[in-house]
Amino acid sequence: MSRTAGTLAIMVGGELQGDPDRSIQGVAALERAGSLQISFVQDERQVSRLKNCRAGAVIAPPRLATAAREACPELTLILTENPQAAFETILDLFQPQRQRPPRGIMPGAFISPTATIGNNCYIAPGAFIGDEVTIGDNCDIHPGAVIQPGCTIGNDTIIHPNVVLYADVSVGSRVIIHANAVFGADGFSYRLVNGRLEKIPQRGTVEIHDDVEIGAGAMADRAMIGATIIGEGSKIDNMVMIGHNCEIGRHNVFASQVGMAGSCKTGDYVRLGGQVGIKDHVTLNTGCQVGAKAAVHKDIPTGETWIGYPATPEGEQKRLVFSLRRVPEMRDQLKQLKKDIAQLTEQLAALESQKPPLRAAG
Q: Examine the domain organization and report whether 78 and 204 are in the same domain.
A: no
195 Cβ neighbours under 8 A, 6+ residues apart: none
**How is the beta sheet containing 128-129 ordered, strand by strand?**
110-111, 128-129, 146-147, 164-165, 182-183, 219-220, 241-242, 259-260, 277-278, 295-296
Give me the amino acid identity at 223: A
Q: Examine the domain organization and report whether 185 and 84 are in the same domain.
A: no
Q: Examine the domain organization and report whether 187 and 312 are in the same domain.
A: yes
Mean of the pLDDT values across residues 315-331?
Answer: 73
Which residues make beta-bridge pairs with 266?
A: 284
Residue 148 lies in a domain: no
73 Cβ neighbours under 8 A, 6+ residues apart: none
Whether the per-residue pLDDT at 355 is higher than 80: the answer is no
| pLDDT value at residue 48 | 81
Q: Examine the domain organization and report whether 80 and 190 are in the same domain.
A: no
Mean of the pLDDT values across residues 95-120?
Answer: 94
Residue 353 lies in a domain: no
| 298 confidence band (pLDDT: 50, 70, 90) | very high
Among 43-57, 124-138, 229-243, 248-262, the minimum mean pLDDT is found in: 43-57
In which region does residue 52 sit, left (phi positive, over 0), alpha (psi from -120 to 50) or beta (all else)? alpha
Residue 105 lies in a domain: no
The predicted model scores a pTM of 0.82
Rounded to the nearest integer, the mean pLDDT of the chain is 92
Helix (H) or strand (E) holding 351: helix 327-354
Instruction: Count CB-CB contacts under 10 A for residue 148.
Output: 17
pLDDT digits (tens, 9 = 90+) for 168-194: 999 999 999 999 999 999 999 999 999
Residue 87 lies in a domain: yes
Catalytic residue among 244, 251, 281, 297: 244
Q: Examine the domain organization and report whether 188 and 299 are in the same domain.
A: yes
Please say which residue of 24, 59, 94 terminates a domain. 94
pLDDT digits (tens, 9 = 90+) for 4-48: 999 999 999 999 999 899 999 999 988 888 989 999 998 888 888
Of the candidates 127, 216, 141, 207, the one whose C-alpha atom is nearest the C-alpha of residue 171 is 207
Please say which residue of 78, 94, 110 terminates a domain. 94
Residue 166 lies in a domain: no
Number of domain units in the chain: 2
Residue 159 lies in a domain: no
Report whether 212 contacts 196 (CB < 8 A).
no
Q: Examine the domain organization and report whether 190 and 74 are in the same domain.
A: no
Report whether 147 contacts 168 (CB < 8 A).
no
Of residues 11 and 347, more confidently modeled: 11
Residue 29 lies in a domain: yes
Residue 171 lies in a domain: no
For residue 7, the domain's CATH number is 3.40.1390.10
| pLDDT value at residue 88 | 94
Which residues make beta-bridge pairs with 3?
A: 24
Mean of the pLDDT values across residues 232-248?
Answer: 97
| Domain boundaries, position 197 | 181-316
Mean of the pLDDT values across residues 104-125?
Answer: 96
Q: Measure the CA–CA gap between 248 and 89, rounded to whole angstroms.
A: 32
* Tally: H helices and E strands in the chain: 6, 40
| pLDDT value at residue 107 | 95
| pLDDT value at residue 136 | 97
| pLDDT value at residue 26 | 93
Please say which residue of 94, 124, 146 terminates a domain. 94
Task: Determine the 3-state secondary structure of 240 from DSSP.
Answer: coil
User: Which percentage of the chain shows pLDDT scores above 70?
Assistant: 97
What phi and psi, each to the nearest 5 degrees, are found at residue 8?
A: -65, -35
Of the candidates 227, 205, 99, the one whose C-alpha atom is nearest the C-alpha of residue 151 is 205
Whether the per-residue pLDDT at 362 is higher than 60: the answer is no
Q: Catalytic: 244?
A: yes
| pLDDT value at residue 322 | 65
Mean of the pLDDT values across residues 214-227?
Answer: 97
Cα 302 to Cα 97, 268, 271, 275, 332: the distances in Å are: 39, 10, 12, 21, 42
For residue 255, the domain's CATH number is 2.160.10.10
